Structure 1
Amino acid sequence: MPAAIPPATEASDGTPGGKDWAVIGLIGTGHFLSHFYMLCLAPLFPIWRDEFGVSYAALGLSVALMSAVTAVGQTPVGFLVDRHGARPFLVGGTLIMALSVSAMAFAPSYWMILVLAVVSGIGNSVIHPADYAILGSSVDQSRMGRAFALHTFTGNLGFALAPPLIVFLAALANWRVALLIVGLLGVPVVAAILWQSRILQDQVRAKPKDGAPVGRQVLLSRPMLLFFGFFLLSSMAGSGIQSFLVTVLDELWGVPVAVGAMALTGYMTGATGGVLVGGWFADRYTRHLTFVVGLTGVAIALFLALGTLPIPHAAVPAVALLAGAALGASRTPRDVMVKNAAPPGQMGKVFGFISSGLPLGGAITPVPFGLMLDAGLPWLVLPTVALLLVASLLCVGSARSEVLREARRTAPVAAE
């Protein structure tokens, strides 16, 4: 049984817990918008194709540019967050995202939308390093797991709500009005962050000890590279599931597309709800690695079952739901392990670098998995997903071992 962490009604400094939830709410709302804006363009592609006379490949470039700029920008922004504080970057990044999406409503051509997608990606690149730096410094340790869990949950909620809301607004008025409305939603969020900025604490800029890694040395250290590998590989696996689960189930077992879609929805629902369970565990118990390995192992077994066993069609969505819940619940303890491994005052660059593995992983796997299907090898997709998850566990286990080894090595020095 994992060691329990005693619950706390107040933060360790006597600050009431209500302040923690206010911080979590502010940061979560900004994270919701970040993910919302990432998915509010794709539903407009059929309309833009007719209005601007461009191909779907060109339309896809808008989302690709936004994602790529976000991924590339996170690490350098993380350095700036650590040096100058997270709050001004959070305000500026959220405002840039909101105004760039609003400006798309006035775009005279598709090329202007591409330019604004790049600008939005620049704003979006601020979110992860700034959010994690503020949460890690503002929220009491006894609530850190739930803080990270709700951060992930609100991002997933943004992904889920963007397509139906943008389609509804476009049908109600037109696509320009729709983008103007959703873009301007960010302005009151920025105002709320500014109004409540006093409760958003920046990291303490601790001076590194002699011989301790700093700057790029931190990111190129073995533990951080391994954590990056963990994020990258698990994102590659998740991207494969999201992109091709319906197709694989159809080609392998003749699962109707409607049932396959229910399975994918079940997987996504389980993954979203699972993060909240993981947050509760991370706050209550200390054996985070055991929890991550155990639940990822459950997900691996379930994916292999979907890919190798003729499961009754009616049971397939339930199996996918359980697999998603297992993976989702493992995510929050993972984030807490990264937070605990980050050197003091360097959380921005650490999370900026490591979380860039998520969009990168999502960009890598769709083409190779698609080639497997084109080659008539649908049976290979889910075992490959399982193999990627096994490799991710090797990375996180090694990273955790390196962190513990370094802690033992420096403990005598700290005691002197």
Structure 2
Amino acid sequence: MTNSSIIAPSAEPSALSQAPQTRRRTLALAGLAHALHDGYTDAIYVLLPVWRAEFGLDYVALALLRGLYAGAMAALQVPASWLADRVGGRAVLILGTALAAAGYALAGFSGGAMGLYAALLVSGAGSSVQHPIASSAVSRAYGSAARGPLGTYNFSGDLGKAIIPAALSFGLSIAPWRPSLWLLALAGIAVAVLLTLLMPRIEAPPPPATSGRATLQRGGTGFPLLLAIGVIDTGVRMGFLTFLPFLLQLKGASQPLIGTALALVFLGGAAGKLACGWLAQRWGVVGVTLCTEGLTAVMIVLAAVLPLLPLLIILPLLGLTLNGTSSVLYGTVPELSPADRTERAFAIFYTGVIGSGALSPLLFGAVGDQAGPVVATLGTAAAALVNLPLALALGPRLAKR
């Protein structure tokens, strides 16, 4: 296959001339990288109490630890895509995975807050490469049929968020935190080795001249809308999850029950990420987005007003709608970007949604401070409704199905 044969995903799926096992291997290894890096991101939550006890850190210092990791990961998404253009996406993905693992190893040697800050900056910088490069690898491997596989890739990140923090928690119950981090770093090195040995070559982007004119036009007008929907969707999700424990507490939930309730939301969310990417491939982006965003608003309102037991019953469905839109949006990024700029488009998109996830709890938190958690929760429902007209406006800019 020549580079000139690779065109935008909305055109003929030339990538599907690859052997099916090669495509599946690309998806499996991209999903493994996603699981590892997302697991690394959420493992910090498990470690914060440990570090507070070990080093006597206050809450501001602990928040800064998480913020430095997330900030490095968000800020370096676009530079990672530039680097991939120059040295190849496969090499950058392998090096980034090794760097993320090295950051956790360094954290295990830290003797105080400054060492942890430096280690998490290193690990966050390494994790910045995964989203744009692994996403574009799946997109190029599957061509116009990539929407469903990208949903599977998106789902794999939730698996990592569930498995790695749980494994770390178990490790901390039987071993000190430093050896636990070194084992976690070894797991990252093992993934980097697997990527080195097994990851198929990521197809190089075609020259700009081979990217279809129609795709450039759609990308020029549709991508900002897609990004806006993604930013709002992520803001709604993170804002709601910030207040859900307080809603449950107001309804009389105990601390263990709050943990169970959150698990129900996350399980539903994982199912939504897996299912909605495939549903969008069959039923269309606009229809599925309207359903998930509209149902999200309805379910959030119900969460605010229902008693505790009915709320617990609907939480898995709420999680499904709350997370399902993300797979629809990720799968649409290649369609709204020129084929030679897929990594760049994913990088910009992930920068926007990660930034929204960091800032939206502050915005809705200010509302909560003034009006209470119920009003702030209803505010997230209102924000979800903003995406309905945006999704309708996006429709004409998408390829006809």
TM-score normalised by the shorter chain: which range applies? Answer: 0.7 to 0.9
Q: How far did residue 391 of structure 1 move?
A: 1.9
Determine the structure 2 residue equivalent to 1:241.
Answer: 240
Determine the structure 2 residue equivalent to 1:279.
Answer: 277
1:262 paired with 2:264, answer no
Q: Within 5 Å, give how 1:283-322 maps onto structure 2.
A: 283=281, 285=282, 287-307=284-304, 309=305, 311-322=306-317
Q: Which of the numbers 159, 178, 181 marks the counterpart of 1:176? A: 178
> Matched residues in 1 for 2:53 and 2:258: separation?
31
Determine the structure 1 residue equivalent to 2:4.
Answer: none
**Greater displacement, 172-181 / 44-53:** 44-53
The aligned amino acid for 2:287 is T
Determine the structure 2 residue equivalent to 1:138.
Answer: 141
Query: Could you tell me the TM-score, scaled by structure 2's length?
Result: 0.88
Query: Could you tell me the TM-score, scaled by structure 1's length?
Result: 0.85
Q: How far did residue 343 of structure 1 move?
A: 0.8
> Matched residues in 1 for 2:384 and 2:123: separation?
31
Q: 1:121 to 1:369 in 2, by over 3 A?
A: same
C-alpha contact (below 8 Å) 1:248/1:381 kept by paired residues: no
Q: Within 5 Å, give how 1:145-156 maps onto structure 2.
A: 145-156=147-158
Q: 1:357 to 1:188 in 2, by over 3 A?
A: same
Q: Match of 2:153, SS?
A: helix
The aligned amino acid for 2:296 is A
> Matched residues in 1 for 2:311 and 2:149: separation?
32
The aligned amino acid for 2:89 is A
Determine the structure 2 residue equivalent to 1:228.
Answer: 227
User: Cα RMSD between the aligned structures?
Assistant: 2.7
The aligned amino acid for 1:355 is Y
Deviations along 1:65-103, whole A, 9 cap, x unmatched?
010111111122223334543111111111110111112
1:74 paired with 2:77, answer yes
Deviations along 1:100-144, whole A, 9 cap, x unmatched?
1112111232201101111111111111111112111122533x2
Q: How far did residue 383 of structure 1 move?
A: 1.8
Determine the structure 1 residue equivalent to 2:55.
Answer: 52
Q: How far did residue 258 of structure 1 move?
A: 4.6
Q: Match of 1:202, SS?
A: coil
Task: Indicate the structure with greater helix content.
Answer: 2
> Matched residues in 2 for 1:254 and 1:78: separation?
48
Q: 1:162 to 1:365 in 2, by over 3 A?
A: same
1:347 paired with 2:347, answer no
Q: How far did residue 29 of structure 1 move?
A: 0.7
C-alpha contact (below 8 Å) 1:96/1:123 kept by paired residues: yes
The aligned amino acid for 1:171 is S
C-alpha contact (below 8 Å) 1:145/1:281 kept by paired residues: no
Q: Match of 1:356, SS?
A: helix
Q: How far did residue 211 of structure 1 move?
A: 8.7
**Greater displacement, 172-181 / 77-86:** 77-86
Determine the structure 2 residue equivalent to 1:87.
Answer: 90
Q: How far did residue 316 of structure 1 move?
A: 0.9
Q: Match of 2:261, SS?
A: helix
Q: Which of the numbers 30, 47, 71 marks the counterpart of 1:27? A: 30
> Matched residues in 1 for 2:109 and 2:256: separation?
38
Determine the structure 2 residue equivalent to 1:7.
Answer: none
> Matched residues in 1 for 2:45 and 2:97: separation?
20
Q: 1:336 to 1:103 in 2, by over 3 A?
A: same
Q: Match of 1:33, SS?
A: helix
The aligned amino acid for 1:273 is A
**Greater displacement, 43-52 / 383-392:** 43-52
The aligned amino acid for 2:366 is L
Q: How far did residue 42 of structure 1 move?
A: 2.6
Q: How far did residue 274 of structure 1 move?
A: 1.3
The aligned amino acid for 2:278 is W
**Unpaired segments of 5 or more residues in structure 2?**
1-12
C-alpha contact (below 8 Å) 2:302/2:311 kept by paired residues: no
> Matched residues in 2 for 1:74 and 1:218: separation?
23
Q: How far did residue 356 of structure 1 move?
A: 1.2
Q: How far did residue 203 of structure 1 move?
A: 2.9
**Greater displacement, 203-212 / 166-175:** 203-212
Q: 1:213 to 1:19 in 2, by over 3 A?
A: closer
Q: Within 5 Å, give how 1:89-238 maps onto structure 2.
A: 89-142=92-145, 144-207=146-209, 221-238=220-237
The aligned amino acid for 1:246 is P
C-alpha contact (below 8 Å) 1:263/1:318 kept by paired residues: no
Q: How far did residue 241 of structure 1 move?
A: 1.8
The aligned amino acid for 2:376 is V
Q: Match of 1:204, SS?
A: coil
Q: 1:25 to 1:108 in 2, by over 3 A?
A: same
Deviations along 1:342-364, whole A, 9 cap, x unmatched?
11110111010011122211111
How many residue pairs were aligned? 388
Q: How far did residue 184 of structure 1 move?
A: 1.2
